[in-house]
Amino acid sequence: MESPWVTDFKENTLYRIDESTRMIEIAFAKAESYTHPKPVEAFIWQRPNNASNSLGNLVLHLCGNMTQYVISSLGEQEDARDRDAEFDATDGYTKEMLLEKLIATVKEVKQTIQHATEGQLLKKRDVQGFHFSGMGCVIHAVEHYSYHTGQIAFWVKQVLSSPLGFYDGLDLNITNEE
């Protein structure tokens, strides 16, 4: 039987992963309203400037990062990440293909977290030149996913001049209860 803290840790990290996935799906759905004469893939692969990445690069990067930190490291699988390729890509995936890749990666990440033992969560390991416990790897992956989800949301809102409605229908002004 799992310790209560392990169960709580897993539930909260999986919730955050699902939230970021939901927001990226909404942002990509809104990208369909891109009205320039070019197809939506032109928007997906458009870089805001030379120092920034396209939506496509960000999704490939998220898949690579989550695979390295959770599937490979926590899940004790081979690490075959090619980080530079994530940023070098300029096409090769449609909007749908990117979402399918992201969703498949997220599914495997969630399964890896769900099946992780307390020992795996506490075990220290080296990943990407850093020394983290399994929990540290999961925390990194979740915050990294959230960070880039915000970049994706910002870029879509910037280009479309439109809110994304992540929390439509919810009253976010409710105060905390004791």
Gap between the Cα atoms of 135 and 145, Å rounded: 15
- Among all chains, which residue has been given the structure tokens 């919730």? 15
CA 61 – CA 102 distance, rounded (Å): 10
Residue 64's pLDDT band, with cuts at 50, 70 and 90, is: very high
Q: What is the pLDDT of residues 147-175, one digit of tens each?
A: 999 999 999 999 889 899 999 999 999 99
Mean pLDDT of 34-53: 85
Mean pLDDT to the nearest integer, 34-39: 72
The string of pLDDT tens digits covering residues 92-114 is 999 999 999 999 999 999 999 99
Q: Are 101 and 59 in contact (CB under 8 A)?
A: yes
Mean pLDDT of the region 12-22: 98
Return the CATH fold of 4-160.
Four Helix Bundle (Hemerythrin (Met), subunit A) (1.20.120)
| Mean pLDDT, rounded, of the chain | 95
Q: Helix/strand/coil (H, E, C) string of 78-103?
A: CCCCCHHHHHHCCCCCCHHHHHHHHH
Task: Report whether pLDDT(79) > 90.
Answer: yes
- Determine the Cα–Cα distance for residues 162 and 121; give it in Å rounded to an integer: 40
**Residue-level pLDDT at 35:** 65
